[in-house]
Structure 1
Amino acid sequence: MKLEYVLLSLLAQRPHSGYDLRKWLQIEGQFLWSRAHHSQIYRALRTMESDGWVAHQVDPREGRPDAKVYRMTETGRDALLAWVRGPYEPTSRFQEVDFVARFSITVPLDREAAVRLIRTELTYRREQIARNRDRDRALHFEDPIPELDQELARQVHEELHQRGAQAVDGWVAWLERMELRLTEGKSVR
């Protein structure tokens, strides 16, 4: 996912300065976009402005440098909605930041697109579980180094599989609750 869509989603709510965007990403949005350096944010804003997605006005500040305050344009709105409504391709790892960010951006903009997103993720995860849950997980060793504790390696391997299975099951349960909430208006617990 591109940083531009995260920034557009914030600008869909209200105008922001580059500093405000960076501060939001470091605190509230730390799970949506990891480690956005201020140079990345300003570079993205310049690109978005040259593409016509955003425009800025200078906000004079007494005793400090003036701030550029960015607003989304109609072209930016169209780009954001096209992305929200566009296809989503799940990754092999669940709970990826791409899905979480896209879902959090999509829900308030287009409920039907959010339902499609959830259903795409659910279908992929259910198929992934069906393919992998009962696969042969036996570890095979051939001339291992003396320090390698084969029995401990097998135990840890199995524990990690069980932990992963519990985590993906929890993820699927959450997706199912969100699908219900979006389609039937039921509260999520």
Structure 2
Amino acid sequence: MKFENVVLGVLALKPFHGYELMKWFDTEGQFIRSNTHHSQIYRELARMVKDGLVEFEVDARDGRPDAKIYRITPVGQQVLLEWVRSPFVPTSRFQDADFNTRFAFAIALDLPAALRIVETELEYRRAQVAASRVRSRGIVGVDPIDGFDVESYARYGEHMHVFGADSVDRWMDWLESMRARLVADLGGEETAAPDTAEEHSA
């Protein structure tokens, strides 16, 4: 997930001062991207302005330094939509930041794209569970270094596995509920991905 996609998605909500954007990444944004330094945000904004994805106007302030108000451009909107609609590739870790971010923006920009994202994630998790639940988790042929407690490793590892399996099951239940809601909101019809021509004319 590119940093610019997150910035474009946030600016699709409303124009932001640079400081407001920093505060967003310190609060809501921390769940999408960890440890985003303020200098990274300003470097990214400068690059995006240069690339025509974002523009700004100067907010003159009496007795204080002027501030820039950043807003997404039509080119930036197109790039954001193309990312939202592009094929989603799940990772081995569920509730990955790319899913959460893309889904959050897709539900506001393109419900059929949001449905495709959910269905792709659900199909992947079902296959992952089917393949991994039957695997042998025993430790074979161990030769640990001194101080490595194999018994504790196995015992607590089993607790982690049980918790993880339960969490994935609950995640799939949530995906099922989101899929049902999206299908209902789309009038009960599942829609195919837009072709390239449609995508670039949006």
Question: What is the TM-score of this pair, normalised by structure 2?
Answer: 0.86
Q: 1:149 to 1:3 in 2, by over 3 A?
A: closer
Say which SS state the counterpart of residue 30 (structure 1) adopts: helix
Q: Which residue of 2 aligns with 1:105?
A: 105
Query: What letter corresponds to residue 85 of structure 2 in structure 1?
Result: R
Alignment of 1:22-101 (within 5 A): 22-101=22-101
Q: Which residue of 2 aligns with 1:12?
A: 12
Distance in 1 between residues matched to 2:152 and 2:144, nearest whole Å = 13
| Conserved 8 A contact 1:115-1:183 | yes
Q: Which residue of 2 aligns with 1:127?
A: 127
- Return 5+ residue gaps in structure 2 as ranges: 186-202
Q: 1:144 to 1:60 in 2, by over 3 A?
A: same
Distance in 2 between residues matched to 1:13 and 1:149, nearest whole Å = 51
Instruction: Give the aligned CA root-mean-square deviation in angstroms.
Output: 1.4
- Count of residue pairs brought into register by the alignment: 185
Distance in 2 between residues matched to 1:68 and 1:55, nearest whole Å = 9
Distance in 2 between residues matched to 1:98 and 1:7, nearest whole Å = 13
Q: 1:71 to 1:144 in 2, by over 3 A?
A: closer
Residue 140 of structure 1: CA displacement? Answer: 2.1
Residue 150 of structure 1: CA displacement? Answer: 3.4
Distance in 2 between residues matched to 1:45 and 1:160, nearest whole Å = 41
Q: 1:148 to 1:51 in 2, by over 3 A?
A: closer
| Conserved 8 A contact 1:45-1:54 | yes
Say which SS state the counterpart of residue 61 (structure 1) adopts: coil
Distance in 2 between residues matched to 1:35 and 1:146, nearest whole Å = 36
Distance in 1 between residues matched to 2:180 and 2:31, nearest whole Å = 24
Distance in 2 between residues matched to 1:83 and 1:142, nearest whole Å = 45
- Return 5+ residue gaps in structure 1 as ranges: none
Query: What letter corresponds to residue 184 of structure 1 in structure 2?
Result: A
Residue 141 of structure 1: CA displacement? Answer: 4.2
Distance in 1 between residues matched to 2:143 and 2:3, nearest whole Å = 47
Of 133-142 and 93-102, the range deviating more from structure 2: 133-142
Tell me which of the two structures has the higher relative contact order, counting C-alpha pairs closer than 8 angstroms and 6 or more residues apart.
2
Distance in 2 between residues matched to 1:58 and 1:75, nearest whole Å = 21
Question: What is the TM-score of this pair, normalised by structure 1?
Answer: 0.92
Of 150-159 and 25-34, the range deviating more from structure 2: 150-159
Identity of aligned residues (%): 50
